[in-house]
Amino acid sequence: MAVLTFQFALENETPLVLERKDTQILSQHLGKAYEINRFCNHLRQKYQAVLGVLDHINVGLCVAMESGELLTYNAKARQIFDDQNGLKLNRYGHIEATDQQKTIQLKNTVNACCKTASGKNMALEYSLQINKRTDMEPYFVEISPLRDGAGEIADGFFGAMVLIIDPNKPPLIPLEPLKTLFKLTGAELNVAGLLLKGNTLIDVSEIRGVAIVTVKTQAKAVYAKTGVLNRAQLVRKNVAIAPPVV
Average pLDDT, the chain: 79
pLDDT exceeds cutoff 90 at 231? no
d(C-alpha 71, C-alpha 39), whole Å? 11
Query: Residue 34: which H helix or E strand, with range?
Result: helix 17-54
Domain boundaries, the chain: 51-165, 176-241
d(C-alpha 40, C-alpha 157), whole Å? 10
Identify the residue with better confidence: 53 or 136. 136
Domains 51-165 and 176-241 share a fold: no
Q: Does domain 176-241 have CATH number 1.10.10.10?
A: yes
State which fold the 51-165 domain adopts.
Beta-Lactamase (3.30.450)
Identify whether the C-beta of residue 161 lies closer than 8 Å to the C-beta of residue 171. no
Q: Read off the pLDDT of residues 3-49 as tens digits, 9 standing for 90 and up.
A: 666 666 666 555 555 556 666 666 665 665 565 556 556 556 666 65
d(C-alpha 170, C-alpha 104), whole Å? 27
